[in-house]
Amino acid sequence: MRRGAAALLLAGAALARAQDSAADPHAAQPERPTVATHAYTVAPGWIEVESGLQFDRFEGGQAFSTPTTLKLGLAPRLQVEATFAWIDLGGAAAAQGMSDVILALKWRAPGRLPLLGDFAVQPAIRLPTGADSVGGGRRAGSIVFVSSNHFGPVELDVNLGLVTRIGASALPLQGWWTASAGTNVAGRLGWALEIYGYPGTSGADAAAPLVGLLTGPTWTVHDWFVLDAGAVVPVSGPQPHSLYMGLTWNIGRVWGPPPNPAPSR
């Protein structure tokens, strides 16, 4: 994936197995493994971690990374999260170190909206905390608009996002889009499929447009612990070939009153 923009996406989409998990705040709500995010949030006072391994092969080199997102529920329909990774670049631009840290809030609108279904807004800021060789070196801000709908056993998550550099060298807004679907296949086995794209940009930081396709299985070991694996392939443009594997773990409640049966979504 395009590393700078993909990080700002705070990678992931919900699978259908998670669509009714709100009655149990200890149930994992994976945003892994896809680029898209879903409209749902961790219950207030509960913490969830998503982490994985990813190997990218692109023209002239390869990259290994450990994308990790920590999520904490702040209030009903509101969560805060932090995303970071260790990155090891091979090839001509060999380097390694910690990535920039991305902080984000996700707020979900109460109730379901016509056509949009469950709707959320997720603003984020990337802080230039990473190693010089792998970090962006500049602050950047983004906002993602999220629509999640259920069609029988399938959940469809659609994202539209905008990102810009913050500061004197700010860039015009750049966009991206994603459409991700997930469903149960059999028992605790699920499957994710996503297509996403970035329009091209011009200027000093010009980048060619790309479209990528991601797919792979998921396995719900426990309601609070989900594994995933799969591959990303280019449809058009400079999208690297990627392999990934990872987990989503709802660790539990860290503050607040004990849970009650009322839905938190």
pLDDT mean over 32-36:
90
Is residue 84 situated within a structural domain?
yes
Q: How many angstroms separate the CA atoms of 124 and 103, rounded? A: 6
Q: How far is CA 148 from CA 37, 116, 155, 192, 207, in A?
A: 9, 7, 7, 14, 29
Is residue 27 situated within a structural domain?
yes
- Given this model, what pLDDT does residue 5 score? 37
Looking at mean pLDDT, say which of 160-169, 193-202, 203-212, 229-238 comes out highest. 229-238
Q: How many angstroms separate the CA atoms of 221 and 151, rounded? A: 24
60 pLDDT band, cuts 50/70/90, is confident
- Indicate if the pLDDT at residue 259 is higher than 80: no
Q: How many angstroms separate the CA atoms of 119 and 40, rounded? A: 9
pLDDT mean over 38-66:
94
- Given this model, what pLDDT does residue 133 score? 81
Q: How many domains does the chain have?
A: 1
The pLDDT tens digits of the residues spanning 240-249 come to 999 999 999 9
260 pLDDT band, cuts 50/70/90, is low
Is residue 263 situated within a structural domain?
no
176 pLDDT band, cuts 50/70/90, is very high
Q: Which residue has the tokens 């970035």?
A: 198
- Given this model, what pLDDT does residue 173 score? 74
Is residue 73 situated within a structural domain?
yes
Q: How far is CA 31 from CA 52, 68, 167, 237, in A?
A: 12, 11, 30, 25
Q: How far is CA 111 from CA 28, 39, 82, 233, in A?
A: 21, 12, 26, 36
pLDDT mean over 159-163:
94
113 pLDDT band, cuts 50/70/90, is very high
- Cα three-residue angle 157-256-83, rounded to 5 degrees: 40
Chain mean pLDDT for the chain: 86
Domain that holds residue 33: 3-253
Is residue 262 situated within a structural domain?
no
- Indicate if the pLDDT at residue 14 is higher than 60: no
**What CATH number has the domain bearing residue 72?**
2.40.160.40
Token reading at 107: 């707020």
Is residue 15 situated within a structural domain?
yes
What is this structure's pTM?
0.86
- Indicate if the pLDDT at residue 4 is higher than 50: no
Q: How far apart are the first and last CA of the chain?
A: 30
- Given this model, what pLDDT does residue 114 score? 94
The pLDDT tens digits of the residues spanning 210-258 come to 999 999 999 999 999 999 999 999 999 988 999 999 999 999 999 877 7
Q: How many angstroms separate the CA atoms of 157 and 147, rounded? A: 6
- Given this model, what pLDDT does residue 169 score? 58
Is residue 30 situated within a structural domain?
yes
- Given this model, what pLDDT does residue 242 score? 96
Is residue 258 situated within a structural domain?
no
Of 71-80, 190-199, 220-229, 250-259, the one with minimum mean pLDDT is: 250-259
